[in-house]
Amino acid sequence: MSEPLSPRKQSPASGAHAALAAEVAALIVGALNLDVAPSQIDPGAPLYGEGLGLDSIDILEIALVVSKQYGVQLRADSSENERIFGSLRQLVEYISAHRTK
Amino acid sequence: MARVGSALGEAQHVLNACSDRYHFTVGLAAAVTLGRVSLLPPTHTAQVTRQLRAFAPDAICLTDTPALETQLPQVAYPCACDVARQDSPVAQIEPGRLTAYVFTSGSTGTPVPYRKSWGPLVSSVQESNRRLGLADGRQWSIVATVPPQHQYGLEASVLMPLVGGHALCGERPFYPADIAATLGTLPRPRALISTPVHLRALVGSDIALPATDLIVSATAPLTRQLASEVERRYDTRVMEIYGSTETGQIAARRPAREAQWRLWPGIRLSRHGEETWAEGGHVEQPTRLCDVLELTGTGRFLLHGRLSDLVNIAGKRNSLAYLNHQLISIPGVLDGAFFHCDESRATHTHVSRVAACVVAPTLDPEQLLRELRERIDAAFLPRPLLFVARLPRNATGKLTQQALQALAAAHLKNDVA
């Protein structure tokens, strides 16, 4: 029988996630010269299309800065892609799981 | 091809919206063999497909992506299962056969059609095979990051393999890691057909590329610096093509080594004031080019930049006049104008967007952008989009780029303050 996750084990992860989320939001805003403050990006809102309204040119730019900053090379497995760019939160999770820097 | 052909029914005009390059090619081949005309607009927004229906009322849309929304009756690309291989005679297609209409974003807000006949398409591509070094008797594997629907993709990634006997690739890799992976699945010699934006992303990603024997770039100027870096990093040759939707490809150069462009045989350029016109060779009618060219000798020229109305974002072309027309046609917009933003705001991949000022007291930004999305390609959605009380028109009603840029600068400063 497995042990339930203790609350103590969860908070450092979410704290680190919050810091990473702020960092990635700032990276996106800076790289794309968006006229919105990083803190204004709704973590759950879509990045591509609606929500932040990014297009494929932006996605390529984000892939570039993300690879430089975190060493993550994005791949376009089409189902994954919608998930990765589905929201800031999902992008951050992906980076967190795959970063090499 | 026979199954696609019969799926087309009686329609004389086909919007070929297949995203897989192989499907697109079979669709194009089926259409031209049956004497049907393929429609190749710059985007597939709702408004454009409505306009296509006005242009060709019998038009249908051939697609391999079921979720695609267009205003045209859709025909699904048939699945390849259970197709018995048939030997059919090679189609004879006369040079004058109308193969496609390509469209540009004209100043009146309606896409402008240009005829593409079979003969000129083939002859121009036979020349590119030679120019780019693909006529060496080997079968090349050609991978492209560009869509087959645009003139460049049509010529370089669809017709060049067909005419040159090379292998084309159904996929359209996007991320640098995908480009490397796709190249790696194919035998040498390999050619990559791409654009400056993608080449910058490749170099910036620091990724290792499988041995690639030729890299081709087009749609926006490639600097000597980037071309040299790509040649050095990937131990390859970079060739660049110059052309337009209206004329197709008309010149090439090796950008790491030369600044001058060399024209395709038979093409003649002439200057009329600031404008340059092209005719002859495979160019089917005298056509005005959208760039400022300096003629430097027989069949050679230097490129000095775009005419001021032109907008080129990551290789996609549009005109300020067309964009303005779309903006002002939105209900609730009293006045508006697109303009070029400060180039210093360009990104790592050197993409700078186009901005817009709008007078629309009853609309909010989301509504306006939604309306714009229906009318123009997402690449041209304005950044920033500024709501103002009044545009800085002068006494004669004219609006200058400078006045708009000054208004934008003041607005942005106020926001920050």
Q: Which residue of A has its CA nearest to B316?
A: A57
What is the rounded average pLDDT for all residues in chain B? 91
Report which of B108, B125, B98 is spatially closest to residue B40, judged by C-alpha positions: B98
Query: A52-56, B136-140, B360-364, B368-372 — which is least confidently predicted?
Result: A52-56
At B333 the pLDDT is: 96
Q: Where is pLDDT greater, at B324 or B345?
A: B324
Considering the domain architecture, whether residues B87 and B188 belong to the same structural domain is answered as: no
Tell whether B235 is covered by a domain: yes
Considering the domain architecture, whether residues B224 and B126 belong to the same structural domain is answered as: yes
Tell whether B274 is covered by a domain: no
Considering the domain architecture, whether residues B27 and B156 belong to the same structural domain is answered as: no
Are residues B348 and A73, on separate chains, in Cβ contact within 8 Å?
no
Using a pLDDT cut of 90, give the percent of chain B over it: 73
At B154 the pLDDT is: 97
At B296 the pLDDT is: 94
Distance from CA of B200 to the nearest CA of A (A): 9
Q: Does A35 touch chain B (CB under 8 A)?
A: yes
Considering the domain architecture, whether residues B232 and B324 belong to the same structural domain is answered as: no
Mean pLDDT, residues B110-122 taken together: 95
Considering the domain architecture, whether residues B234 and B162 belong to the same structural domain is answered as: yes
Using a pLDDT cut of 90, give the percent of chain A over it: 49
Considering the domain architecture, whether residues B85 and B136 belong to the same structural domain is answered as: no
Mean pLDDT, residues B15-31 taken together: 94
Q: How confident is the model at residue A10 (pLDDT cuts 50, 70, 90)?
A: very low
| Torsional sign, CA B95, B96, B101, B104 | positive
Is A5 a residue whose pLDDT tops 80? no
- How far is residue B1's CA from residue B8's CA, in Å, rounded to a whole number? 11
Q: How confident is the model at residue B80 (pLDDT cuts 50, 70, 90)?
A: low
Name the pTM for this structure: 0.89
A65 vs B contacts (CB less than 8 Å)? 348
List the CATH number of the domain containing B387: 3.30.300.30
Distance from CA of A30 to the nearest CA of B (A): 9
Report yes or no: B19 and B65 within 8 Å, Cβ to Cβ.
Answer: yes
Query: Which residues fall within 8 angstroms of residue B265, CB to CB, at 6 or more apart?
Result: B127, B281
Considering the domain architecture, whether residues B165 and B257 belong to the same structural domain is answered as: yes
Q: Does A37 touch chain B (CB under 8 A)?
A: no
Tell whether B346 is covered by a domain: yes
Report which of B151, B153, B126, B131 is spatially closest to residue B142, judged by C-alpha positions: B153
Nearest to A75 among B177, B348, B381 (CB): B177
Tell whether B273 is covered by a domain: no
List the CATH number of the domain containing B189: 3.40.50.12780
Q: Does B390 touch chain A (CB under 8 A)?
A: no
- How far is residue B1's CA from residue B21's CA, in Å, rounded to a whole number? 14
- How far is residue B258's CA from residue B255's CA, in Å, rounded to a whole number? 5
A60 vs B contacts (CB less than 8 Å)? 174-175, 197-198, 201, 349
Q: Does A101 touch chain B (CB under 8 A)?
A: no
B204 vs A contacts (CB less than 8 Å)? 64, 67-68
Mean pLDDT, residues B352-360 taken together: 94
Distance from CA of A84 to the nearest CA of B (A): 13
Is A8 a residue whose pLDDT tops 70? no
Structural domain of residue B374, as residue ranges?
Answer: 311-416
Considering the domain architecture, whether residues B173 and B75 belong to the same structural domain is answered as: no
- Other CB atoms closer than 10 Å to residue B369's CB: what's the count? 16
HSE-CB at B319 with a 13 A cutoff on CA atoms is: 18
Is B55 a residue whose pLDDT tops 80? yes
Of B40-54, B62-76, B332-346, which has the strongest mean pLDDT? Answer: B40-54
Is A78 a residue whose pLDDT tops 60? no
Are residues B205 and A57, on separate chains, in Cβ contact within 8 Å?
no
At B1 the pLDDT is: 84
What is the rounded average pLDDT for all residues in chain A? 82
User: Cβ-count burial of B273 within 10 angstroms (0-12 exposed, 13-18 middle, 19+ buried)?
Assistant: exposed
In the block, residue with structure tokens 């450092």: A12
Nearest to A74 among B177, B351, B412 (CB): B177
Are residues A35 and B383, on separate chains, in Cβ contact within 8 Å?
yes
At A75 the pLDDT is: 84
Tell whether B294 is covered by a domain: no
Q: Does A34 touch chain B (CB under 8 A)?
A: yes
Mean pLDDT, residues B99-118 taken together: 91
Q: Which residues of A41-64 are buried (b: 16+ CB within 10 A; e: fewer)?
A: bebeebbbeebbbbbebbbbbbbb
Indicate which of A34, A48, A57, A82 best probes the interface with B, i.e. most B CBs within 10 Å of its own CB: A57
Is A32 a residue whose pLDDT tops 60? yes
- How far is residue B314's CA from residue B321's CA, in Å, rounded to a whole number? 19
Q: Does B237 touch chain A (CB under 8 A)?
A: no
Are residues A68 and B204, on separate chains, in Cβ contact within 8 Å?
yes
Query: Which residues fall within 8 angstroms of residue A33, CB to CB, at 6 or more apart?
Result: B345, B347, B353, B383
Considering the domain architecture, whether residues B77 and B126 belong to the same structural domain is answered as: no
Is B87 a residue whose pLDDT tops 80? no
User: Cβ-count burial of B142 within 10 angstroms (0-12 exposed, 13-18 middle, 19+ buried)?
Assistant: buried
Return the beta strands (E) in B5-151 as ranges.
13-16, 37-40, 60-63, 74-76, 98-105, 111-117, 141-144
Are residues B348 and A60, on separate chains, in Cβ contact within 8 Å?
no
Q: Does A78 touch chain B (CB under 8 A)?
A: no
Q: Does A53 touch chain B (CB under 8 A)?
A: yes
In the A/B pair of chains, how many CB contacts fall below 8 A?
Answer: 70
Q: What is the bridge-based pairing of β-strands B98-105 and B37-40?
A: parallel
Q: What is the bridge-based pairing of β-strands B167-168 and B141-144?
A: parallel
Mean pLDDT, residues A61-67 taken together: 92
Report yes or no: B105 and B317 within 8 Å, Cβ to Cβ.
Answer: yes
- How far is residue B156's CA from residue B125's CA, in Å, rounded to a whole number? 8
Is B37 a residue whose pLDDT tops 70? yes
Considering the domain architecture, whether residues B258 and B147 belong to the same structural domain is answered as: yes
- How far is residue A96's CA from residue A76's CA, in Å, rounded to a whole number? 18
- How far is residue B133's CA from residue B131's CA, in Å, rounded to a whole number? 5
Can you give the residue ranges of every domain in chain A?
Answer: 45-101
Considering the domain architecture, whether residues B121 and B185 belong to the same structural domain is answered as: yes
Report which of B372, B368, B366 is spatially closest to residue B325, judged by C-alpha positions: B372
Considering the domain architecture, whether residues B124 and B216 belong to the same structural domain is answered as: yes
| ipTM of predicted complex | 0.83
Mean pLDDT, residues B76-81 taken together: 77
At B65 the pLDDT is: 85
Q: Does A45 touch chain B (CB under 8 A)?
A: no
Structure token digits, residue B285:
């009618």
HSE-CB at B252 with a 13 A cutoff on CA atoms is: 23
Work out the widest C-alpha separation in chain A, in whole angstroms.
51
Are residues A60 and B345, on separate chains, in Cβ contact within 8 Å?
no
Domain count, chain B: 3
- Three-class HEC string of A80-99: HHHHHCCCHHHHHHHHHHHC
Is B96 a residue whose pLDDT tops 60? yes
Q: Does B207 touch chain A (CB under 8 A)?
A: yes
pLDDT, tens only, B187-236: 999 999 999 999 999 999 999 999 999 999 999 989 999 999 999 999 99
Query: Which residues fall within 8 angstroms of residue B323, CB to CB, at 6 or more apart?
Result: B105, B311, B338, B354, B356, B376, B380
Distance from CA of A27 to the nearest CA of B (A): 12
Report which of B127, B126, B98 is spatially closest to residue B113, judged by C-alpha positions: B98
pLDDT, tens only, B246-300: 999 999 999 999 999 999 999 999 988 888 999 999 999 999 998 989 999 899 9
Q: Which residue of A has its CA nearest to B174?
A: A76
Tell whether B47 is covered by a domain: yes
Tell whether B153 is covered by a domain: yes
Structure token digits, residue B91:
């189609």
At B150 the pLDDT is: 93
At B400 the pLDDT is: 87
Structure token digits, residue A37:
């403050």
